[in-house]
Amino acid sequence: MNREEIKAIVTNNYAKPYRVNLIGGGSKIVRLWKTDDGRIAIMGKGRKKWGHELSSWSDHYEDWATLRLVEHDEIDYYKRFVKRATDALKMLNESGLWKDIKQSIEHFFELPESEQRELVNDIMTDSYELFYHEVYKENGKYSWVHGYQVFESFVRKTCWKSIAWRKWERERMSAEVAECIKNGKDFSRRWENGYDNSVEIANRDGEKLAWYSEEYRGCGNGHYYLMFDATHAIFYEDD
């Protein structure tokens, strides 16, 4: 495809999912929108807030055979959200971690289904006004949400992350972390396994918290997660 063909298809002014069929076979989902000055922008991989102008050099759109908007009923984001929120609530009830986030999920399930669906739809628009801003503005529609990144992760293609212990210590470390979470003991460990990995468990003001990170070797930047139990973490942010 060329740029003008793509411009004719992408008319929305906020990011929406499009399915790309590739000339050599296969397909992928990209999130595209048209900027105010008529350029086509694409959401960066793994990003929810930032993108860049569509580029032949980095995005290889000349290899695209077809492009079409993915309708929300093709991917049932509401069903995906509810399933993952249900799993998350079960984990947090059992582990006792992240009390504020647990309360936010419980509040979601107390809403009428119409309001639940509206929240999921607002997340999927990638519009600052419709979710993120409504979490943080005074008296916002979603000011009851603690950890908006968790709610966004419930609709991502990949939500849960396993702790990448080294193979020979996986069973022992998982058991030790589970014991520390259960008994409210602080814990910290760093190791190397492709990334500079770390797990930290802390008890602050009566609340149990746990984090997992995978940073690029010697860099101090990478991928950051919240642990919901000893073996499951959920994406929080990239840095």
Contacts of 54 (CB under 8 A, 6+ apart): 3, 6, 32, 39, 40, 41, 42, 61
Cβ atoms of 82 and 155 closer than 8 Å: no
pLDDT of 64 over the 90 cut: yes
Asked whether residue 59 falls in the same domain as residue 30, the answer is yes
Asked whether residue 17 falls in the same domain as residue 82, the answer is no
- Convert the pLDDT of each residue in 6-19 to its tens digit: 999 999 888 888 98
From 154, 176, 208, the end of a domain falls on: 154
User: Structural domain tally of the chain?
Assistant: 3
Average pLDDT over residues 136-150: 92
Buried b (16+ CB within 10 A) or exposed e, 134-161: bbeeeeebbeebbbbbbbbbbbbeebbb
Confidence of residue 167 (pLDDT cuts 50, 70, 90): very high
Predicted TM-score of the model (pTM) = 0.70
Mean pLDDT in the chain? Answer: 90
Give how far Cα 129 sits from Cα of 78, 134, 142, 233, Å: 20, 7, 11, 28
From 20, 39, 69, the end of a domain falls on: 69
What distance in Å separates the CA atoms of residue 33 and residue 26, rounded to the nearest whole number? Answer: 22
Asked whether residue 95 falls in the same domain as residue 136, the answer is yes
User: What range defines the domain where residue 8 resides?
Assistant: 3-69
Least confident interval from 32-46, 99-113, 183-197, 218-232: 32-46
What is the length of the chain? 239
Confidence of residue 127 (pLDDT cuts 50, 70, 90): low
Asked whether residue 10 falls in the same domain as residue 87, the answer is no
